[in-house]
């Protein structure tokens, strides 16, 4: 553990052209990767990262994420992500994030995440070791976005179903499907023309069951009949739902950066 544990941890980034989507802005998949990265960096600084947990046969896994973005970083823009621990118990850790434009300090968005420790061999929930270390750095800093709602199975007459078989490149170092790969499957259900006019305003994801190679899954997508900017989604495997999600889109026309 660090001699001077910090209740907040921040990192600066620069959005390069290869990292951008077709609209020359940051894709949601990269942002979720960054959230995982900064949570990992802070946990390592506190002495409760992977190197510590693996001694007890444990690893951190992301259980839920809620992300709200006022706007997304653009190509060539510097941005900062700040993270802090909101609360913890023996099974879960709640961690929040703030995303800002580095130079101006403009708040771009916020995120709420819930993490759990799992037994690497048995793939079941485990108790978080050295819980007092997390307790010592719990912050009273508020996170202004609402907590993750209970996500429901997509339903309705407009339900879209898409089959997919997980491949080698979908896997992470735990040999199960990468968190971000799920999100890629979700956003791929909309065409380029939609993405050229919209970006994600709010994203909620709940991970329910691990998927592995070479399982075939079904991506279910339902658009709200009363609001075409809101949708619910589910990825279902042979053992039931792997994850559920809800997306609220916002108008965000593509304007090329010159």
Q: How far apart are CA 168 and CA 154, in angstroms?
A: 28
Query: What's the DSSP call for residue 150?
Result: P
The percentage of residues in the chain with a pLDDT greater than 90, rounded to a whole number, is: 75
Q: Is the pLDDT of residue 5 over 70?
A: no
Binning pLDDT at 50, 70 and 90, where does residue 194 land?
Answer: very high
| Spatial contact of 156 and 99, defined as CB atoms under 8 Å apart | no
The count of residues in the chain is 258
Three-state DSSP class for 43? helix
Q: How many whole angstroms separate alpha carbon 48 and alpha carbon 127?
A: 13
Q: How far is CA 211 from CA 126, 178, 186, 214, 233, in A?
A: 19, 9, 15, 9, 16
Looking at residue 3, its pLDDT comes to 54
Which residues sit opposite 138 in a β-bridge? 85
Which residues neighbour 175 within 8 Å (Cβ) at sequence distance 6 or greater? Answer: 212, 213
Cα dihedral sign, 215-218-219-224 = negative
CA distance 125 to 132: 19
Whole-prediction pTM value?
0.93
* 135 has pLDDT over 70: yes
pLDDT by residue (tens digit) across 75-84? Answer: 999 999 999 9
Cβ proximity of 119 and 58 under 8 Å: yes
pLDDT score of 57:
83
Query: Which residue ranges form the domains of the chain, and what is each CATH number?
Result: 1-146 (3.10.129.10), 149-258 (3.10.129.10)
Q: Transcribe 235-258 into DSSP letters.
A: EEETTEEEEEEEEEEEE-------
| Rounded Cα distance, 229 and 250, in Å | 7
144: region left, alpha or beta (phi > 0 left; psi from -120 to 50 alpha): alpha
The pLDDT assigned to 126 comes to 74
**3-class SS of residue 111:** strand
CB neighbours of residue 196 within 10 Å: 13
What tens digit of pLDDT does each residue of 105-130 get? 999 999 999 998 887 777 777 777 66
């Amino acid at each position: 553990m660090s001699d001077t544990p910090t209740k907040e941890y921040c990192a600066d980034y620069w959005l390069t052209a290869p990292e951008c989507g077709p609209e020359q802005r940051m894709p949601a998949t990269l942002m979720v990767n960054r959230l995982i990265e900064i949570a990992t960096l802070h946990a390592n600084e506190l002495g409760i990262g992977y190197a510590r947990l693996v001694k007890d046969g444990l690893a951190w896994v992301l259980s839920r994420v809620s992300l709200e973005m006022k706007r997304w970083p653009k190509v060539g823009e510097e941005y900062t992500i700040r993270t802090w621990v909101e609360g913890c118990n023996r099974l879960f850790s709640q961690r929040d994030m703030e995303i800002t434009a580095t130079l101006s300090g403009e708040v771009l968005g916020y995120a709420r995440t819930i993490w759990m420790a799992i037994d690497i061999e048995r793939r079941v929930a485990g108790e978080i070791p050295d819980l007092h270390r997390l307790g010592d750095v719990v912050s009273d800093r508020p996170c202004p976005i609402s907590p993750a709602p209970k996500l429901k199975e997509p339903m309705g007459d407009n339900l879209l179903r898409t089959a997919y078989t997980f491949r080698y490149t979908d896997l992470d170092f735990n040999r199960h499907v990468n968190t971000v790969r799920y999100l890629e499957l979700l956003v791929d259900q909309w065409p380029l023309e939609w993405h050229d006019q919209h970006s994600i305003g709010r994203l909620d994801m709940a991970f329910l069951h691990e998927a592995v190679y070479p399982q075939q899954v079904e991506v279910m997508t339902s658009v709200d009949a009363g609001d075409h900017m809101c949708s619910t989604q589910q990825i279902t495997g042979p053992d039931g739902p792997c994850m559920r999600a809800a997306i609220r889109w916002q108008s965000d026309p593509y304007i090329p950066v010159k």
